[in-house]
Amino acid sequence: MAQFVVRNIENVVKTRLQRRARRNGRSMEEEIRDILRNAAVEEPLPSGGLGNEIAALFAKVGLESDIPELRGHAIKPFEFEP
């Protein structure tokens, strides 16, 4: 197993860690290991893409009518002048 040495931790942080460990019935070392384990958990990457995620956020809003200013307009690419 790896070991870490963390220097220059403020006294107030150390005191809070000690209190937290005491509340959870652990040593301060075990409490810090648990904090690090939880911080290092990899969150799942979104698989559907940003557009799908945004659509999912608003799926339950209940929009029942078209938005006229967005319907029937052709998309025109912007032309840059040299």
Q: What is the pTM of this model?
A: 0.51
User: What is the rounded average pLDDT of the residues 20-38?
Assistant: 96
| Residue 69 pLDDT | 67
Q: What is the pLDDT of residues 62-77, one digit of tens each?
A: 766 666 666 677 777 8
Q: Please work out, in degrees rounded to the nearest 5, the angle formed at the alpha carbon of residue 49 by the alpha carbons of 47 and 53.
A: 95
Tokens 């893409």, located at residue:
49
| Residue 50 pLDDT | 79
82 pLDDT above the threshold of 90: no
Q: How high does pLDDT run on average in the chain?
A: 85
